[in-house]
Amino acid sequence: MLNPDLQAKLSRLAAERGSDAQALVQEAVERFVDCDEWFLQEVDKGLAAPTVATSSTMTTSAS
């Protein structure tokens, strides 16, 4: 259930787009899920990638 303010915004936006609120919610959820799925895949790729030490990531101790 959506709070009244969000429901009003959704109804207004759906009317402006000439669609119903349910279709708009479906589209928004699909986009969110697709984006989240892509993000998690990219995180997994980054975690699986080999770590390469560079001069900017290496520290030396001063004597």
CB 24 within 8 A of CB 10: yes
The number of distinct structural domains making up the chain is 1
Question: Terminal CA-to-CA distance of the chain, rounded, Å?
Answer: 63
pLDDT digits (tens, 9 = 90+) for 44-62: 999 999 988 777 666 666 6
- Within a domain: 29: yes
Mean pLDDT, rounded, for 8-20: 96
CB 10 within 8 A of CB 16: no
pLDDT-derived band at 22, boundaries 50, 70, 90: very high
Q: Is residue 63 domain-resident?
A: no
- What's the pTM value of the predicted model, to 2 decimals? 0.66
Specify if 55 maps to a domain. Answer: no
- Is 53 within the bounds of a domain? no
Q: Spell out the alpha helix ranges (H) of the chain.
A: 4-17, 21-48
Give mean pLDDT, residues 32-45. 98
Q: Provide the domain limits for residue 19.
A: 4-48
pLDDT at residue 49 in the model: 92
